[in-house]
């Protein structure tokens, strides 16, 4: 750029500007990736990548990005690069950059002087200067040069730090000690965000377009951040849990006896999922009883809550006059939804247990979870019913169809997708619920048999005519199993440690919840398909 003249720029200016801004954005992205890798401890901040020290790479990346931004800003301000800047940068950007200047100045002073109060005036002056430098000049200079100074400064500090090994930061206001190896990548990510904002704004040529591009860069970073939290969480559980879950697993190790013919075919085995947890003959303990328990719990809760919730919503929306009563019910429902789950558990323990089973039981667990699910089903179903256009009701009434038939065949089907959304959300919550299960549901910590709900129905001569011993007995569920395993401290079998079994259980729980989501979303799609032209 320095050697470029105006005449050549007249034809090549956009190319130079575009190349520079692309380079800035690319280097920034690479820096973020490397910094995240450091944070994840995939690479050591003190180590090296392709022969170059990581600290040099991080710092160098920031420095290059900062210089590129400065070049873009100066080039635009001096007229070498054609852009459409506004008269000034926004006040918000000025505040942020000013704050960064203040922090940088304060920290630099502390490091240089070593304690004392000298940092305060430096920080104040630096902050004001940074803010003014951002806000006062035309946008192409204000949005780039002060930010570039921060970025280059941080880059240089990181490169000089050698990766931050060996020093720590123990702030006075916290008992935590932050190792330099963590601070360095965090600072690098921060600098990269600033570079992304400034670089994107410059890339779009400042002005309204530039502000939009800068905002997109930040919003995009937030989205990526959110997604990576999710990926991180799931990935972590999978990494930790996959080894125990796959213990003893094989694709063809098992056999499946074919019905009617006396033969068997090879069949995949997954002992962690299909084995009992405790018992004498179990070599590889599994979570089968807990898995079955969870499925029964969710099934029972849905069966108890969904018809009730839909019925109540239909009554409130279609029959009850809007007024005090419906308002009261609405408030009560909202309150119920935000009631802590342990309170539901306590209610089950004090009220349902003595009346239904006399001890912990699947049935009471189902009912308690059903109570927790009920308000959400009611609320979402009510919203969905209110969203059904009155035109449908009018059309049906004009055909001479009764109100109840209209509700059954037109209104409720139209509200189905919305209701199912509520059920999906609610099931996600109750499937992982632990607290109430501790009080009303859980049995032996390492169950050696699976609740046989289907096979335990039996008839009798006096009311209630049907009983089910399995439903009235305690059992295990995945979150409950996880809790008991972790709190027990010692795992009774040699095969797993407590932690390994816990991670395996967590992975299975995660899979079950995701599976339930999938079922819910599939059924919602089915109803949507039926309702809408697609």
Q: Which positions touch other proteins (CB under 8 A)?
A: 389, 391-392, 394-402, 405, 409-410, 413-414, 530-534
The answer to whether 283 and 292 have CB atoms below 8 angstroms apart is no
Nearer to other proteins, 256 or 320 (CB): 320
Select 22 or 525, whichever has its Cβ closest to other proteins: 525
- Least distance to other proteins from the beta carbon of 414, Å? 6
Output the six-digit token pair for 89.
């940068």
105 in Cβ contact with 122 (< 8 Å): yes
Token pair listed for 255? 């056999």
Write b or e for each residue in 93-103: b if 16 or more Cβ atoms lie within 10 A of its Cβ, otherwise e: bbebbbebbbb
**Residue matched to tokens 């399995």:** 470
Q: Are 142 and 136 within 8 A, CB to CB?
A: yes
Tokens 């079994």: give the residue.
Answer: 501
CB of 519 to other proteins, least distance (A): 23
Task: Give min distance, CB of 391 to other proteins, in A.
Answer: 4
Closer residue to other proteins (CB): 114 or 400: 400
User: Which residues, including other chains, have CB under 8 Å from residue 337's CB and lie 6 or more apart?
Assistant: 375, 376, 379
**Cα–Cα distance list, 292 to 296, 362, 479 (Å):** 6, 11, 12
Mode of pairing for the β-strands spanning 264-269 and 466-468? unpaired
DSSP assignment of 248-308, as one string? T-EEEEEEEEPSSSS-EEEEEE-HHHHS-SSSTT-SS---HHHHHHHHHHHHHHHHHHHHH
Nearer to other proteins, 389 or 515 (CB): 389
Q: Which is nearer to other proteins, 267 or 325 (CB)?
A: 325
Q: Name which of 176 and 391 has its Cβ closer to other proteins.
A: 391
Q: Which is nearer to other proteins, 252 or 409 (CB)?
A: 409
- In the bound complex, what is the minimum distance in angstroms from residue 302's beta carbon to other proteins? 24
Work out how close the CB of 299 gets to other proteins at its nearest, in angstroms, rounded to a whole number: 24
Q: Taking the complex as a whole, how short is the minimal distance between the CB of residue 435 and other proteins, in angstroms?
A: 41
Q: Which is nearer to other proteins, 391 or 466 (CB)?
A: 391
Measured from the CB of residue 399, what is the shortest distance to other proteins in angstroms?
A: 4
**369 to 153, 301, 339, 426, 494: CA distances (angstroms):** 56, 6, 12, 10, 35
| Nearest distance in Å: CB 186, other proteins | 52
Q: Are 516 and 428 in contact (CB under 8 A)?
A: yes
Q: Which residues pair with 458 in a beta bridge?
A: 467
Q: Alpha-carbon Rg of the chain, whole angstroms?
A: 32
């Amino acid at each position: 750029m320095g050697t470029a003249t105006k005449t050549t720029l007249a034809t090549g200016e956009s190319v130079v500007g575009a190349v520079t801004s692309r380079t800035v954005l690319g280097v920034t992205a690479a820096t973020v990736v490397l910094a995240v890798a450091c944070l994840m401890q995939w690479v050591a901040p003190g180590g090296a990548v392709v022969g170059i020290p990581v600290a040099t790479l991080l710092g160098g990346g920031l420095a290059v990005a900062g210089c590129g931004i400065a070049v873009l800003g100066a080039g635009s301000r001096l007229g070498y690069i054609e852009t459409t800047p506004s008269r000034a940068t926004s006040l918000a950007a000025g505040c942020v950059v000013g704050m960064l200047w203040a922090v940088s100045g304060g920290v630099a002073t502390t490091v240089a002087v070593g304690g004392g109060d000298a940092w305060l005036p430096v920080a104040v002056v630096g902050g004001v200067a940074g803010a003014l430098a951002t806000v006062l000049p035309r946008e192409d200079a204000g949005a780039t040069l002060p930010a570039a100074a921060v970025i280059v400064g941080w880059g240089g500090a990181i490169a000089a730090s050698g990766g931050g090994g060996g020093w720590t930061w123990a702030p006075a206001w916290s008992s935590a000690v932050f190792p330099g190896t963590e601070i360095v990548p965090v600072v690098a990510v921060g600098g990269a965000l600033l570079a992304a904002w400034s670089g994107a704004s410059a890339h779009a040529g400042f002005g309204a377009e530039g502000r939009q591009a800068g905002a997109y860069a930040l919003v995009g970073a937030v989205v990526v951040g959110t997604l990576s939290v999710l990926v991180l969480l799931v990935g972590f559980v999978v990494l930790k849990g996959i080894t125990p879950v796959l213990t003893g697993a094989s694709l063809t190790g098992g056999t499946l006896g074919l019905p009617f013919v006396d033969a068997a075919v090879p069949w995949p085995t997954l002992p962690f999922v299909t084995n009992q947890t405790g018992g004498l003959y179990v070599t590889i303990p599994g979570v089968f009883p807990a898995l079955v328990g969870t499925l029964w719990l969710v099934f029972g809760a849905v069966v108890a809550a969904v018809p009730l919730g839909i019925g109540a919503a239909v009554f409130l929306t279609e029959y009850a006059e809007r007024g005090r009563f419906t308002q009261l019910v609405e408030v009560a429902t909202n309150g119920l939804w935000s009631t802590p789950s342990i309170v539901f558990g306590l209610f089950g323990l004090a009220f349902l247990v003595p009346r239904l089973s006399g001890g912990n039981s699947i049935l009471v667990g189902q009912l308690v979870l059903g109570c927790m699910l009920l308000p959400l089903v009611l609320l979402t179903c009510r919203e969905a019913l209110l969203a059904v256009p009155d035109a449908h009701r009018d059309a049906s009434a004009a055909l001479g169809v009764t109100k109840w038939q209209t509700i059954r065949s037109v209104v409720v089907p139209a509200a189905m997708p919305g209701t199912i959304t509520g059920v999906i959300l609610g099931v996600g919550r109750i499937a992982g619920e632990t607290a109430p299960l501790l009080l009303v549901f859980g049995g032996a910590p390492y169950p050696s048999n699976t609740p046989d709900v289907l096979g335990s129905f039996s008839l009798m001569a006096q009311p209630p005519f049907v009983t089910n011993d399995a439903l009235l007995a305690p059992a295990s569920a995945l979150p409950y199993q996880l809790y008991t395993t972790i709190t027990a401290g010692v795992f009774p079998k040699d095969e797993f440690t407590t932690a390994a079994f816990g991670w395996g259980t967590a992975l299975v729980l995660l899979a079950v919840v995701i599976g339930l989501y999938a079922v819910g979303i599939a059924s919602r799609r089915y109803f949507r398909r039926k309702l809408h032209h697609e």
